[in-house]
Structure 1
Amino acid sequence: MIPINLSYGLKLELNQKLMMTPELRQAIAILQLSALELSEMIEQEVLENPVLEIAEKQSDEPEAEMDEPQREKEQLDDYLNWDDYFNQGMDKKSEYMVADEKTTVEKFVNSNVSLHEHLEFQLHLAVRDEATKIVGNYLIGCIDENGYLCGTLSEAASNLGVKEEMVLEVLELIQTFDPLGVGARDLQECLLIQYQQKGIYDHLVADIISNHLPDVAAGRYKAIAEKLACKPQDVQQAVDVIRTLDPKPGRAFGGEQCSYIIADMSVERVNGKYVITVNDTSIPQLTINPYYRRVAMGADSESKKFIEGRLNSAVWLIKSIEQRRRTLYNVMEAIIELQQDFFDKGPKFLRPLVMKKVAEKIEVHESTVSRAIANKYVDTPHGLVSLRSFFSTAVHNSEGGQDVSATKVKQKIKELIVAEDSSDPYSDQTLSEILCQHGMKISRRTVAKYREEQGIASSAKRKRY
């Protein structure tokens, strides 16, 4: 047995390591927020931190006080404007009311009518019998957001304690409501309702809807033509008519509200140089209330500790917002320098770019660049562009020149397909060979991938007979 010597002792060591402090986590989170998300976050912080307050924006010109004779004159002018209404047939008074209320686009967006409300309103106008209204309201409640009826007629009749014939009669009434095709029990019935109500008198269209929808989805027009003893051209024309019908008639109502993209930065060309402007207009300007500093000086230790903690949190938040602004500016400045051809000539001249190159240029970590471009948009001379779209992988140039970006390859594929002969569309292999002739060495499978990413169908489905 070998004896083991065990002993106890104290030893000092000095080492360095990175610590993820709460302040650093907050700075990282703020960096990856868009302008709209940052504005919401600031409003929440103001509610939670009493030390913070939003600075009021003062107008450049003070509002002049209006004396009594001037006010009476304006009221008289407003009254005399009714003369324009009687002479021109336009209600100018309503225009003044809209201007006074400062109506915005968001006000109309927020007042969307849901599909159920729209159908119930039509039911109220079309039906007077109370029993029919009860059945109609029940069926409307069973219609999903796409406009389709969930459940069966027998279940509805059993739950309401009425005959199934009555439920069918009320459903047929609902199916005449707007939007066309609402209340259908499946896709086939939905399209047939629209076919009938739009007055499309084409037996081939009705036959294809009733019996050949799976073949239409697969693009098997020749097989349909053989079954119906007609030409593939006739089938394709009938399918073109079917594509004008809406398979989801209820999606135009309710659902998610329209979202608007607010540019986080804008780039303008001024005297041959590009000027970067960080969008701070939608972000509230924060200040620290001086009252709490005075309170902290005469407060007890516990209150003073609380106020100092809130003050430190407020100062760090303001610093983090300013740091975000500087980082966005530096990233955008590096992108302009590395993608000069894009800003000078357009999207076709976008070069391959990786985040590491931008990170090295502004001397930050690659993850910082990734967070800075997340969910950010910039208003450029060529339109609103996502910051992430400036970064794309490189495609090897077969002619030995400079590599091209994947975005440029995708655009070239789209241009070739738009200009192709519809009776003999390019296959993915043909597109790959054409791209190689243009110096873009790319495989057939990659062509198929880029084509599908742009929502372009295969050559078999693009073919026109």
Structure 2
Amino acid sequence: MRMGYDLRLEQTQKLIMTPELRQAITILQFSALELSSFVDEQLQENPLLEVVDGNAANANDANDAKEKETDPVKSEESTEPETTWDMDWEEYFQRQEDRVTREYEPDDPDKKRFEPFVAAAPTLQEHLLEQLHVQKLSIPVEQVEYIIGNLDDNGYLEIPLEEIARDEGISELSAQKALSVVQMLDPLGVGARTLEECLRLQLPLIPDAPSQMPEFLKHLEDLATGRLQKIAAKMKITITEVQTLADWVRKLDPKPGLRFSGMSDVRYIVPDVVVEDIDGEFIILVNDITVPRLGINQAYRSALSQDKENDTRKFVEQKLNAAAWLIRSIEQRRTTLYKVANALVNRQEGFLRKGIRYLHPLTLKDIADEIGVHESTVSRATANKYIQTPRGIYEFKFFFASGIKNEPGVTTEGIKQALKDLIAGENPKAPYSDQKLSELLKAKEMEISRRTVAKYRDELGIPSTALRKRY
């Protein structure tokens, strides 16, 4: 067998992903808020990028539209991705100089302008400390502040009083007094160490509650498992009275701290696409108002006018190419997002007009084939994005509903909605069993088994037949 080194020429095909292409794919996956943050970072890193106001952007769009009308070949070529950028930057800057920009001026010069802003809601600790600092206490305020600082997001105190006393160098009795101060603050129930204590602290909020409530709160574990007869036997009352007491318990808040914001809470959702029903026709708007319109800074024009190839000119050309690719990637994201949203609206028009029962099974491949892109492109375009419709705000993935194997055209969401409707209309003294629910769904041409009914019921958070029964 002959072994040795030699030289050969081979021709192979490879898919090479350039940094620009990676950036375009990343931008496609960004939500509106993520894209806005990314653009802010690029504005700081690339000195050639600048924010263009609305009037300048409109003028630029008009100039581009005129160029496409006069040069159809250029219009077609502009839709193709480019790997090299041989742009006439002198001509670009000249077009920028021809733009007509106007700054906003109020009609009344004495009228003040106020920029909109979002005010963060106070956290639980901030709310408690604000109350604490206006009270006169007989104990050091630092002891109470220490307890407030150790409350979890639900408002519970998870560390024992012995540890608080040791850390603060005080007696357990002093720690208990400091805890009592916290438990008297609003909202009632904070500072509790158990669920029973939390609910008991809230009893003053319902002064007309039955007198058995303090005793009833000792049986929360039996109540959660549906052992109503055991509770009735221990308290020597009827099952009907047990259910009445349980109704009173539902008026209390088991997690009083959750009504306040946390440091990392997401308080609102910015939809990436808005669908409006105007005169019976659905209009699609890509919501990129949070993303500033970008342009090229003219201050670096002199560097490009130099004939010699020096480091400054190379740096400016590199940043110009990066800026141009970024602007084009953002525009491509907007176009792709519009196409996907338009296809979704066309496929799920029944849901938008009539409700969730008319949501059709849909896959990523269906949308990809319709708009002529790869399935992965649709997946990236819909990842972590929301769409605002006349029926509410939904994630894009909500519209890709899974279907039932034996029932084409029926989605799991539609079955869950039908299941909720059946249970809402049942007789509380004789609730439907899972088998009965399966039979009723079959009558509605939704053939699913009893085990599937139980699975969907658990996913909806609906208790079993025994727990739903009222005596």
Within-5 A mapping of 1:55-454: 55-58=52-55, 63=105, 101-102=114-115, 104=117, 106-107=118-119, 110=120, 112-129=121-138, 131-196=139-204, 198-199=206-207, 202-210=210-218, 212-255=219-262, 256-270=264-278, 273-298=281-306, 300-396=309-405, 402-454=408-460
Distance 2:140 2:217 in 1: 31
Q: Greater CA deviation, 146-155 or 218-227?
A: 146-155
Q: TM-score, normalised by structure 2?
A: 0.82
Distance 2:213 2:125 in 1: 30
CA 1:153–1:232: 2 relative to 1, 3 Å = same
Distance 2:137 2:213 in 1: 37
Task: Point out where structure 1 has 5 or more consecutive residues left out of the alignment.
Answer: 75-98
Distance 1:359 1:57 in 2: 33
- 2:48·2:323 contact (CA, 8 Å) conserved in 1? yes
Distance 1:442 1:175 in 2: 50
Aligned length: 424
Q: TM-score, normalised by structure 1?
A: 0.83
SS at match of 1:324: helix
Matched, 1:29 2:71: no
Question: 1:259, CA displacement in angstroms?
Answer: 2.4
SS at match of 1:119: helix
CA 1:271–1:53: 2 relative to 1, 3 Å = same
CA 1:427–1:127: 2 relative to 1, 3 Å = same
Distance 1:123 1:32 in 2: 46
Distance 2:147 2:4 in 1: 83
Q: Which AA in structure 2 matches 1:142? A: N
- 2:231·2:242 contact (CA, 8 Å) conserved in 1? yes
- 1:397·1:439 contact (CA, 8 Å) conserved in 2? no
The aligned residue for residue 14 of structure 1 is 11
- 2:209·2:248 contact (CA, 8 Å) conserved in 1? no
Q: Greater CA deviation, 432-441 or 192-201?
A: 192-201
- 1:205·1:239 contact (CA, 8 Å) conserved in 2? no
Percentage of pairs with the same residue: 45
- 2:35·2:291 contact (CA, 8 Å) conserved in 1? yes
Question: 1:117, CA displacement in angstroms?
Answer: 3.2
Distance 1:65 1:353 in 2: 52
- 2:46·2:319 contact (CA, 8 Å) conserved in 1? yes
Task: Point out where structure 2 has 5 or more consecutive residues left out of the alignment.
Answer: 56-100
SS at match of 2:133: helix
Q: Which AA in structure 2 matches 1:302? A: D
Question: 1:48, CA displacement in angstroms?
Answer: 0.8
Distance 1:141 1:168 in 2: 16
CA displacement, residues 11-45 of structure 1 (integer Å, 9 cap, x when unaligned): 21212121122112111111111112111111111
SS at match of 2:302: helix
Q: Which AA in structure 2 matches 1:332? A: A
Question: 1:310, CA displacement in angstroms?
Answer: 1.2
Distance 2:260 2:334 in 1: 39
The aligned residue for residue 53 of structure 1 is 50
CA 1:342–1:202: 2 relative to 1, 3 Å = closer
